[in-house]
Structure 1
Amino acid sequence: MTTQTDSVSEFAILEPAARSQPGSSTPSSPSRSTAIFVLAALWAIVFFASLFAPPLLDDADATHSNAARHILSSGDWVTLYVNGIRYLEKAPLPYWLDAISFKLFGFNAFAAHLPQATAVFLLALLGYIWASKAYSARAGLYAGIAVLTSAGVFLFTRIFIPEIWLSLFLATALYCFLQSLSAPPVEDVIATGAKQSGEPPAFVVRPTSNLYPYGLWVSLALAVLTKGLVAPVFIIGTAIIYLALTGEYRQWHRLKPFTGILLFLAIAAPWHILAGLRNTDGALNGHPHGFFWFYFVNEHFLRFLGKRYPVDYNKLPGYLFWSLHLVWLFPWALFTPLLLTGVRRRVSAILAPTYAARTTLLLTLYSALVLLFFSFSTNQEYYTFPAYLPLLMLLAAALTRAESTYTSDRSSRRRVVFAHAALTVIGAAVSIALFIGLWRSRHLPFVPDIGELLAHRGVGDYTLSMSHLFDLTDSSFAALRLPATIAAMAFAFGPALAWFLRSQRRHLAATSAIAVTSATFLVAAHIALIRFGPMLSSQPLAARIADLRSTHAIAPDTRVMLYGDQSYGSSIAFYLGEQLPLVEGRSSSMIFGSSFPDAPHIFLTNADLIGGWGTGPRKLLFVPLERRDALDRVLPVSLQIVLAETSGKALITDRPLDETSSFVIR
């Protein structure tokens, strides 16, 4: 039954949900405008300022940027291409957004990463609005801040991957789902108004709640265009369990399933149909296949089962899969024990018909489904990104609740103190390690190319995001003095200051100190990423090629080639804006697209390379560090003339530059 209070609160933008309990106090919070300003400023410092450097990184970052660049150069918004080859394993929406960004800002790292950074801010804003409505204004502020200062959100938006957009669309769909069920029907609003006044209303303002069901279906369609069929699995799966547990399945009509599904299909279906009709003549593993089989069967079902072809994916060990979430949600994951405070009481009340209880149940079910799904599926570290916002919202609510009962609830207080103690110990350990590195490298010279100084131990075969940190030597640490100093100072003082402020019952200041510490560390981490740029990006070698051309040191017919898979040197293809031949590079994402009859002849063998080396037009060959030994086995070092080298990657040619250095275009 809908009450007058329910109807009125539905029109409120933010619904304070903090309830005073005996011995508790409702914490004060900044105004909405102040909170949004704080979130915007924090986003600008951590995310917007990092858009300008380093250049695009090799592998996924530049590969996906190449696909977006091809959209503009070809005008084809249906079939994605990378280096002239069909790239049909990905949904198109992130590439459309990047293509628009390239159109506005040019082909550079800023334009490539601006859409992702924008999505981060929107995700933080959604977390703020939703948590404010469900729990309290302070919980909303904490949720937004946590999104902007969590290690995983920062780390997995350094490269162009679709997870941040998927997370935003799925979270929006969840919010609209809950709002659709919580909002009073239009008829109830009209009847309540007429009953109070005794007269029929002169006009009716249709409440915005009527748009929520369609917002659900639109968001779900956009999520499908971002990542594929995993989106409806998460949303529909969560919705079914939620409706069954709460008994709200009787309100199914509020979700507008018939018109909503039509709207969903109108948005999501056209691209899939066109892509299927335009890409029918491929083959995989010797069997003819078109887009529909490759995209839906190979890239969805077989990937989940670990039987996708080609086998170029990973699955994290179970202990790493689960424990690493403490890193991805750091520092806020340290407050996880708060979720267990009063768990019996909260479990018994979780099905209560309050907006806060509904939100908690929905977020819990959704997070659990995402985590369990990818624990069984093949996975990468960032696949569970869509669970970050729900988990951070739950942590923000738990922290706010603990702050309001800090004096009276001994259990909550102990858990908060434990979190601060853990953060202080971690901070001290990190600071000591960094200061030791700074001291040991104090007399060593600064070397811009840090890749030349790494140990290259092959930790985790470099499939983990932070594997290269284990390669640091004293000499390489010298290149990281500035970010190391910033991080060491932040961790030396920030956690201790936060703990002190908490002991003084200055809760907002204490939590803010944690956020500032994390933000400072993330800024330092980005400076470190810039220092790793020469190793992670081949843009300097692309610049060298462009310089040779501009000075006419090489002839216009010089042939630029990549040795190995295109991902090794994808930033060269992006910055040159060219389709480059690949020597022994028909692998991974190139296999299916290369099987189409109209695929360009860009795949060369070692025999092709050796047969043409030193004859005909000049050859420029990019060789990644991982493939240099393989090249040396087929092409004698004596025949390789190195033009440029960075972090073990080399640009070699087949003849001295002085043969054509006097070449002038006439």
Structure 2
Amino acid sequence: MTDMTQRATRSHRSFVLAAWVLLLAVFFAVYAAALFTPPLLDDADATHAQAAAHIAETGDWVTLMVNGVRYLEKPPLPYWIAAVSYRIFGENTFATHLPNTLAVLGCAWLAWLWCQRAWGDRAALYAALGTLTSVGPFLYTRFAIPEAILTFLLLLALYCLITGLESRRPGRYYVAWAALALAMLTKGLIAPVFFFAAAIPMMMLSGQWRRWRELKLYSGLALFLLIAAPWHILAGLRNPDQGHPVGNIPTMGNVHGFWYFYFLNEHVFRFLGTRYPHDYNRLPFLAYWFLHLVWIFPWSLFVPAALLVAWKTRHSWMQHLKRDAGQTVDFYLDNSGREDLASHVIRLKFRSRTVWLLGLFSAFTLLFFSLSTNQEYYTWPAWIPMIILTMGVLASIEEAEEDRREGRSQLRLGGTGWLVTAHALFAVAGVIIAAALGWGLWESRNLPFVSDIGSLLAHRGVGDYSLSTSHLFDLTGPSFAALRLPAGIAAVALLVGPLTGLLLRLAHRNRAATISVALTSAVFLIAAHIAFARFEPMLSSKQLADTILQKATPADEFVILGDQSDASSIIFYTHRFFGHPAELVMEQCSQHSNGSSMLWGSCYPDAPKIFLNEDELESKWGQGPRHWLFAQDKNRSKAEQLLAGKLIPVQTIADKTLWTDRPLQ
């Protein structure tokens, strides 16, 4: 090994070490530190936690249960992982959200590996930083949903496929098949559908379909089935047709048990918008598409540059995809200064196939959910591929400019002008937002800090609160007083960071400029999490659960006027104390239960007797053991009318109230 090679190796190792020190510092500051607050939220967060707790406590790894009722609509892997986490760390917020947090770190690691192989070390650093500092991945790991785990597994499967083809390492195909099976156990049939929708066209375009025998189709498919099939079979056998159709609930005939509900209702009918119950919206067309600039922000600032370069180099896409990129005279002239031309050619081939594979995967995912019912986070699996592609081009633009300035290459990739423009836009936006936050801080300087921010919010009901970000539209001026600390941190970050990045870009310190964007975003996300935790009274009922645990006895009964999702965090935090399910004042197994996650499970004859009608609630109120009644504001007037003169208020936070039926000692 020559001295130059040794120096290059040491330099590479030093860069990798420094890069991962930075990445892990960002990860712990942004993600790991946020694992403890706020407590579990109502609705999906605590509902999914209940399903995992049931596994941890009973050892039933087949049939998910929520509040004692079958929860048949979700695959089990995220709940299995959370149950293991509960066995190790206890049933708490940290253990619930740890799997998703580690999945994001896994996505950053895969982004590093993929970009390092396709574009080099700089792109690897940028892609990993982009994964850890984008808005969407951060926002949608604040509660327990499976998308982060799904994304990691799908990326792993795609990476093992493409590197197996490039390196002729057949063992990677088995990893791909196993990851794909686990992805199916995470989110269902969309996992193999999305994978093959990208893999098959890429192999057809590149001519690699002729190597299909290398993919271990038969043994790989056997491995896939060995991992994915047993749970589906056991779940069907343990949850056969026992339902009785009521109203317009689909008939559950001989084959209309779990398999009908899971495969048809939760997959086919959900896509078509005919799922029962119909409880999901579809984002408006323009909002759906343009919100993706928010989910990968601030890195979406560089998407125009990536598209510009993609258009400029469009004629080389197929050439690089199908044959060696180094067969033209122009290529050798443009890269005559390179000492590693052979490895550069190999990288170009892998890069081209990466662009096609991840581009097809992202495009299909986005198109699929644009046609289906959707929530904002459904396209999570496409965000990391989009970040990888953007960062690969960003690094290429920077390196091409630096090579040209130092005489190592004559290649003109373009896009450098937009990099400066992107930083300028970021700086202008940062100054405007910092000024707005500063004005809010000044205006709220004399307002008292109110811990219950929910009492200061408007209840505008945007999207009828069916979208995960609906409560953002409830912010008011007085509520700003509760957000002074995060607003101050965000204002400083957005004022200093983007301006610093612009100056660094103008000084041609490209790497430092790009890292400044990541650090600005990281500080902003830390502030965002502090603000998010301040919304605890609005989003979680943990304070009411604490009150119940202090004042109740295990013989008491907890009743929810509405669906279990309205107070799912109370159920999670009190279920061990009570030792029996909460009661719900709602229709059981009826069309009036529209939107409830309890609907299908409640149709089974062995469902616990926890469903009360209003007459039953009225007749038992004040009789037998003490009763605790919970209602959100939307049901408060109903409770006061139904039990007029019999309600003893215990506690009100934000938009929810807790009553009991006899005076507290």
For normalisation by structure 1, the TM-score amounts to 0.88
| 1:495 is the counterpart of 2:462 | no
User: Which secondary structure state, in structure 2, belongs to the residue aligned with residue 615 of structure 1?
Assistant: coil
User: Which secondary structure state, in structure 2, belongs to the residue aligned with residue 316 of structure 1?
Assistant: coil
Q: Which amino acid in structure 1 is aligned with residue 663 of structure 2? A: P
Q: Shift of residue 282 of structure 1? A: 4.0
| 1:101 is the counterpart of 2:103 | no
Aligned partner (choices 389, 393, 410) of residue 388 of structure 2:
393
| 1:583 is the counterpart of 2:578 | no
The superposition leaves residues 57-87 of structure 1 with CA deviations (integer Å, 9 ceiling, x where unpaired) of 0000000000000002221000000000000
Match of 1:244 in 2: 204
| 1:267 is the counterpart of 2:227 | yes
Q: Which moved more, 1:34-43 or 1:386-395?
A: 34-43
The superposition leaves residues 25-62 of structure 1 with CA deviations (integer Å, 9 ceiling, x where unpaired) of xx999622222222111111100000011100000000
For the Cα contact (< 8 Å) 1:363–1:391, is it kept in 2?
A: yes
Aligned partner (choices 319, 331, 334) of residue 286 of structure 2:
319
For the Cα contact (< 8 Å) 1:29–1:137, is it kept in 2?
A: no
In the alignment, the residues of structure 1 paired with residue 630 and residue 192 of structure 2 have an alpha-carbon distance, to the nearest angstrom, of 42
User: Which secondary structure state, in structure 1, belongs to the residue aligned with residue 378 of structure 2?
Assistant: coil
Match of 1:416 in 2: 419
Q: Which amino acid in structure 2 is aligned with residue 582 of structure 1? A: L
Aligned partner (choices 627, 631, 641) of residue 648 of structure 2:
641
| 1:656 is the counterpart of 2:620 | no
Q: Which runs of 5+ in 1 are unaligned?
A: 1-14, 17-26, 185-208, 550-554, 662-666
In the alignment, the residues of structure 1 paired with residue 484 and residue 125 of structure 2 have an alpha-carbon distance, to the nearest angstrom, of 34
| 1:79 is the counterpart of 2:63 | yes
Match of 1:193 in 2: none
CA 1:520/1:342 → structure 2, altered by over 3 Å: closer, same or farther?
closer
Q: Which moved more, 1:371-380 or 1:584-593?
A: 584-593
User: Which secondary structure state, in structure 2, belongs to the residue aligned with residue 310 of structure 1?
Assistant: coil
User: Which secondary structure state, in structure 1, belongs to the residue aligned with residue 570 of structure 2?
Assistant: helix
CA 1:590/1:504 → structure 2, altered by over 3 Å: closer, same or farther?
same
In the alignment, the residues of structure 2 paired with residue 419 and residue 512 of structure 1 have an alpha-carbon distance, to the nearest angstrom, of 14
Q: Which amino acid in structure 2 is aligned with residue 483 of structure 1? A: P
In the alignment, the residues of structure 1 paired with residue 422 and residue 492 of structure 2 have an alpha-carbon distance, to the nearest angstrom, of 20
Match of 2:639 in 1: 631
User: Which secondary structure state, in structure 2, belongs to the residue aligned with residue 152 of structure 1?
Assistant: helix
| 1:179 is the counterpart of 2:163 | yes
User: Which secondary structure state, in structure 1, belongs to the residue aligned with residue 376 of structure 2?
Assistant: coil
Q: Shift of residue 456 of structure 1? A: 1.5
The superposition leaves residues 210-251 of structure 1 with CA deviations (integer Å, 9 ceiling, x where unpaired) of 311101100100000000000010111111111111111001
Q: Shift of residue 557 of structure 1? A: 2.4
Q: Which amino acid in structure 1 is aligned with residue 188 of structure 2? A: G
Matches within 5 A, 1:10-409: 31-184=15-168, 209-283=169-243, 285=249, 287-288=251-252, 289-351=256-318, 352=320, 353=323, 354-406=349-401, 409=412
In the alignment, the residues of structure 1 paired with residue 649 and residue 272 of structure 2 have an alpha-carbon distance, to the nearest angstrom, of 45
Q: Which amino acid in structure 2 is aligned with residue 96 of structure 1? A: W
User: Which secondary structure state, in structure 1, belongs to the residue aligned with residue 221 of structure 2?
Assistant: helix
Matches within 5 A, 1:449-528: 449-528=452-531
In the alignment, the residues of structure 1 paired with residue 173 and residue 511 of structure 2 have an alpha-carbon distance, to the nearest angstrom, of 36
Match of 1:545 in 2: 548
Q: Percent identity between the aligned chains?
A: 50
In the alignment, the residues of structure 2 paired with residue 361 and residue 29 of structure 1 have an alpha-carbon distance, to the nearest angstrom, of 30
User: Which secondary structure state, in structure 1, belongs to the residue aligned with residue 39 of structure 2?
Assistant: coil
In the alignment, the residues of structure 1 paired with residue 414 and residue 111 of structure 2 have an alpha-carbon distance, to the nearest angstrom, of 27
Q: Shift of residue 592 of structure 1? A: 0.5
Q: Shift of residue 348 of structure 1? A: 2.0
For the Cα contact (< 8 Å) 1:180–1:254, is it kept in 2?
A: no
Q: Which amino acid in structure 1 is aligned with residue 80 of structure 2? A: W
In the alignment, the residues of structure 2 paired with residue 405 and residue 513 of structure 1 have an alpha-carbon distance, to the nearest angstrom, of 20
For normalisation by structure 2, the TM-score amounts to 0.88
Q: Which moved more, 1:264-273 or 1:614-623?
A: 614-623
The superposition leaves residues 324-382 of structure 1 with CA deviations (integer Å, 9 ceiling, x where unpaired) of 00110000001011122243452222231411111111111111011111111111100
For the Cα contact (< 8 Å) 2:647–2:659, is it kept in 1?
A: yes
User: Which secondary structure state, in structure 1, belongs to the residue aligned with residue 72 of structure 2?
Assistant: coil
User: Which secondary structure state, in structure 1, belongs to the residue aligned with residue 198 of structure 2?
Assistant: helix
Match of 2:330 in 1: none
Q: Shift of residue 422 of structure 1? A: 1.6
For the Cα contact (< 8 Å) 1:170–1:220, is it kept in 2?
A: yes
For the Cα contact (< 8 Å) 2:451–2:534, is it kept in 1?
A: yes
For the Cα contact (< 8 Å) 2:280–2:466, is it kept in 1?
A: no
In the alignment, the residues of structure 2 paired with residue 529 and residue 282 of structure 1 have an alpha-carbon distance, to the nearest angstrom, of 43
The superposition leaves residues 426-481 of structure 1 with CA deviations (integer Å, 9 ceiling, x where unpaired) of 21221122111111110000010000011112223233443333322222110100
For the Cα contact (< 8 Å) 1:435–1:488, is it kept in 2?
A: yes
User: Which secondary structure state, in structure 2, belongs to the residue aligned with residue 560 of structure 1?
Assistant: strand
Match of 1:572 in 2: 570
Q: Which amino acid in structure 2 is aligned with residue 648 of structure 1? A: D
The superposition leaves residues 607-645 of structure 1 with CA deviations (integer Å, 9 ceiling, x where unpaired) of 111111122222111112232133234232x32111111
For the Cα contact (< 8 Å) 1:565–1:585, is it kept in 2?
A: no
Match of 2:609 in 1: 601
Q: Which amino acid in structure 2 is aligned with residue 135 of structure 1? A: W
In the alignment, the residues of structure 1 paired with residue 251 and residue 417 of structure 2 have an alpha-carbon distance, to the nearest angstrom, of 62
The superposition leaves residues 488-542 of structure 1 with CA deviations (integer Å, 9 ceiling, x where unpaired) of 1100111010010011111111111111110001000100011101110001100
Q: Shift of residue 290 of structure 1? A: 0.5
In the alignment, the residues of structure 2 paired with residue 347 and residue 585 of structure 1 have an alpha-carbon distance, to the nearest angstrom, of 58
In the alignment, the residues of structure 2 paired with residue 461 and residue 434 of structure 1 have an alpha-carbon distance, to the nearest angstrom, of 28
In the alignment, the residues of structure 1 paired with residue 601 and residue 381 of structure 2 have an alpha-carbon distance, to the nearest angstrom, of 29
Matches within 5 A, 1:606-625: 606-625=614-633
For the Cα contact (< 8 Å) 1:402–1:412, is it kept in 2?
A: yes
In the alignment, the residues of structure 1 paired with residue 250 and residue 167 of structure 2 have an alpha-carbon distance, to the nearest angstrom, of 54
Q: Which moved more, 1:420-429 or 1:217-226?
A: 420-429
User: Which secondary structure state, in structure 2, belongs to the residue aligned with residue 620 of structure 1?
Assistant: strand
The superposition leaves residues 391-422 of structure 1 with CA deviations (integer Å, 9 ceiling, x where unpaired) of 00011011111212337659412211221122
In the alignment, the residues of structure 2 paired with residue 468 and residue 492 of structure 1 have an alpha-carbon distance, to the nearest angstrom, of 26
User: Which secondary structure state, in structure 1, belongs to the residue aligned with residue 547 of structure 2?
Assistant: helix
In the alignment, the residues of structure 2 paired with residue 474 and residue 356 of structure 1 have an alpha-carbon distance, to the nearest angstrom, of 49
CA 1:468/1:556 → structure 2, altered by over 3 Å: closer, same or farther?
closer
CA 1:453/1:345 → structure 2, altered by over 3 Å: closer, same or farther?
closer
| Deviation beyond 4 Å, 4+ runs, structure 1 | 27-30, 407-411
Q: Shift of residue 648 of structure 1? A: 2.5
For the Cα contact (< 8 Å) 1:282–1:592, is it kept in 2?
A: no
Q: Which runs of 5+ in 2 are unaligned?
A: 1-7, 324-348, 405-411
Q: RMSD of aligned C-alpha atoms?
A: 1.7
Match of 1:7 in 2: none
